[in-house]
Structure 1
Amino acid sequence: MNDLNAMLEPGMLVRNPACPHWGVGQVQSNIGGRITVNFREEGKVVIDGVVVPLEIVFDENNLR
């Protein structure tokens, strides 16, 4: 698992750099490398943390 993905916890905000149109998402769970995220524009998505490196969003007001 990507080192950053391993530290993701419920409530944290993330972005999938491969799918920027999904917007910012909130981590719902991170169990065994399977990360469930609820994205604003895409809805709930289960991500394989080994394959997809997520970016942590520290300041939701500072979006690209």
Structure 2
Amino acid sequence: MVGAKVFIFDQASDLFIKAGEIVDVQGTIALVMIEEIRKDRVICIVDKFDLSKLYFKSKRGVAV
């Protein structure tokens, strides 16, 4: 599961509808890293999300 690409569907978060990568999992909580490109810099944001708020990306679209 670590390294999986996910979409974040947590409406309470500022990162709603962003794509990221799981970097750690502890129980039902996943640590997700989001990379944003701003002008000439790449900014990495790491935040915790419940696994029920994440949708895994697959080759054919979004896998629930």
Normalising TM by the smaller chain, what interval? Answer: 0.5 to 0.7
Q: Which runs of 5+ in 2 are unaligned?
A: 11-15, 37-43
Correspondence 1:43 to 2:35: no
Structure 1 runs (4+) deviating above 2 angstroms are none
SS of the residue 2:21 aligns to? strand
By relative contact order (CA 8 Å, sep 6+), the higher-ranking structure is: 1
- C-alpha RMSD of the superposition: 2.3
**How many correspondences in the alignment?**
49
Q: What CA deviation, in whole Å up to 9, does each residue of 1:3-43 have, x standing for no partner?
A: xxxxxx100000112401xx310101111111000012361
Q: Which runs of 5+ in 1 are unaligned?
A: 1-8
Which residue of the partner structure matches residue 9 of structure 2? 17
| Greater C-alpha Rg | 2
Which residue of the partner structure matches residue 13 of structure 2? none
Q: How high is the TM-score relative to the length of structure 2?
A: 0.60
Q: Which has the higher strand share?
A: 2
Instruction: Calculate percent identity across the aligned residue pairs.
Output: 17
Q: Which has the higher helix share?
A: 1
Q: How high is the TM-score relative to the length of structure 1?
A: 0.60
